[in-house]
């Protein structure tokens, strides 16, 4: 028996624009108990040093987005979201892969926070050489959940946390950020 569903296709990734924000806000509201506001997205889009990306399907509809800000020598991934109806179909992977390819500097450093309960996102980041290096207690306002702090640096690409200040493997629990 063959499936009548079409096979998922790799989304196209491009720069996110102000015109995309109505679709982004709709996805954001369906995805999170405390969604970002329109003003937050406008602020991030207005930063010249940031990278904001949109994933689109074959018809040009937004299927996901990524917001990344530059702070001094570190890129902070602030938001990676796939529309609920296309999760686990490669949208977030495409966005993250595109972001990493766009940063053209010798040894870029990336960081992000992710809910400790979000095993799918943690696995995605680990596949891209991000490593857990700390914990932010009660980071999420909606339920007080902790956030895992993850980094992708030259050291994490080699399998260590040597170039992350105060890094601690949260599973070790000897020192938390």
pLDDT at residue 167 in the model: 78
Helix axes 91-102, 119-127, angle to 10 degrees: 40
Q: Are 53 and 15 in contact (CB under 8 A)?
A: yes
CATH number, domain of 51, equals 3.40.630.30
**76 plus 142 within the same structural domain:** no
Calculate ∠ Cα 117-129-73, nearest 5°. Answer: 100
**63 plus 145 within the same structural domain:** no
Tens of pLDDT, residue by residue, the chain (177 residues): 444 544 556 789 999 999 999 999 999 999 988 899 999 999 999 999 999 999 999 888 999 999 999 998 899 999 999 998 988 888 999 999 999 999 988 899 999 999 999 999 999 999 999 999 988 888 887 888 899 999 999 988 988 888 887 777 666 554 433
Domain that holds residue 151: 109-177
pLDDT at residue 93 in the model: 95
**Given 108, 126, 158, which residue is the final one in a domain?**
108
**Given 51, 83, 108, which residue is the final one in a domain?**
108
pLDDT at residue 165 in the model: 76
Catalytic positions: 113, 125
Selection from 49, 58, 52 nearest residue 24 by Cα: 52
Per the structure, how many domains does the chain have?
Answer: 2
Q: Residue 49: CB partners within 8 Å, gap ≥ 6?
A: 69, 70
């Amino acid at each position: 028996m063959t499936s009548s569903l079409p096979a998922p296709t790799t989304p196209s990734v491009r720069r996110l624009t102000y015109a995309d924000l109505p679709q982004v806000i709709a996805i954001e509201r369906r995805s999170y108990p405390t969604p970002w506001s329109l003003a937050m997205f406008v602020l991030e889009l207005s930063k010249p040093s940031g990278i904001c990306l949109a994933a689109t399907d074959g018809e040009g509809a937004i299927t996901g987005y990524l917001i990344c800000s530059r702070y001094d020598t570190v890129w902070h991934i602030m938001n990676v979201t796939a529309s609920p109806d296309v999760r686990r179909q490669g949208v977030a992977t495409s966005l993250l892969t595109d972001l990493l390819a766009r940063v053209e500097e010798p040894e870029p450093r990336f960081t992000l926070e992710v809910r400790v309960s979000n095993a799918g996102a943690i696995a995605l980041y680990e596949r891209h050489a991000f490593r857990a290096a700390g914990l932010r207690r009660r980071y999420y306002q909606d339920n007080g959940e902790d956030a895992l702090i993850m980094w992708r640096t030259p050291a994490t690409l080699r399998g260590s946390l040597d170039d992350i200040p105060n890094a601690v493997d949260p599973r070790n629990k000897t020192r938390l950020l």
